Amino acid sequence: MPVYALYAVWFGASGLSEAQISALFVIWSVVGLVVEVPSGALADRFSRRGAVVAAGLGQAVGYAVWALWPTFAGFALGFALWAIGGSLDSGAREALLYDALAAAGAQARYARLIGATTAAGLLAEVPAAGLATLLWSVGGFTAVAWASVGTCLLAAVVATRLPETRPDPGSGPDGSTDRSTDRSTDRSTDGRTDDDEPGYRAALRAGIAEAAARPAVRALLVPVAVLAGVDAVEEYFPLLAADWSVPTGFVPLAVVATSVTGAAGAALAGRVAGWSRWRLAAVVAGAGAALAVAAALAVPAGMVLVAAFYGAYRMVLVVLQARLQDRIGGPARATVTSVAGLATEVVGIGVFAAWAVGGVWPVVVAALAVAALLPRLLRGDGRG
Tell me the DSSP string of 184-252. Answer: TS-GGGGT--GGGSPPHHHHHHHHHHHHHH-HHHHHHHHHHHHHHHGGGGGGGHHHHHHHTT--GGGHH
Q: What percent of the chain has pLDDT over 90?
A: 25
Nearest alpha carbon to residue 113 among 128, 87, 94 = 94
197 pLDDT more than 80? no
Nearest alpha carbon to residue 95 among 201, 21, 206 = 206
166 pLDDT more than 80? no
Domains of the chain in sequence order = 2-167 (1.20.1250.20), 209-377 (1.20.1250)
Task: Name beta bridge partners: 165.
Answer: 182
Q: How far apart are CA 328 and CA 334, in angstroms?
A: 10
Task: Name beta bridge partners: 182.
Answer: 165
Over the chain, what is the mean pLDDT? Answer: 82
Higher-pLDDT residue of 10 and 318 is 318
Rounded to 5 degrees, what angle do the CA atoms 105, 111, 117 make? Answer: 115
Q: Please report which confidence band the pLDDT of residue 188 belongs to, taking 50, 70 and 90 as the band edges.
A: very low
Helices 200-213 and 18-45 cross at an angle (nearest 10°) of: 100
Higher-pLDDT residue of 18 and 233 is 233
For residue 290, CA distances in Å to 103, 133, 224, 296, 364 come to: 41, 33, 20, 10, 9
Q: Please report which confidence band the pLDDT of residue 378 belongs to, taking 50, 70 and 90 as the band edges.
A: confident
Reported as a single tens digit per residue, the pLDDT across 35-84 is 888 888 888 888 889 989 999 999 999 999 999 999 999 999 999 999 99
Q: Please report which confidence band the pLDDT of residue 194 belongs to, taking 50, 70 and 90 as the band edges.
A: very low
189 pLDDT more than 80? no
pLDDT at 178 (0 to 100)? 41
pTM of the model as a whole: 0.78
Reported as a single tens digit per residue, the pLDDT across 111-133 is 888 888 888 888 887 777 778 77
pLDDT at 185 (0 to 100)? 35
Tell me the DSSP string of 88-151. Answer: HHTTHHHHHHHHHHHHTT-GGGHHHHHHHHHHHHHHHHHHHHHHHHHHHHHHHHHHHHHHHHHH
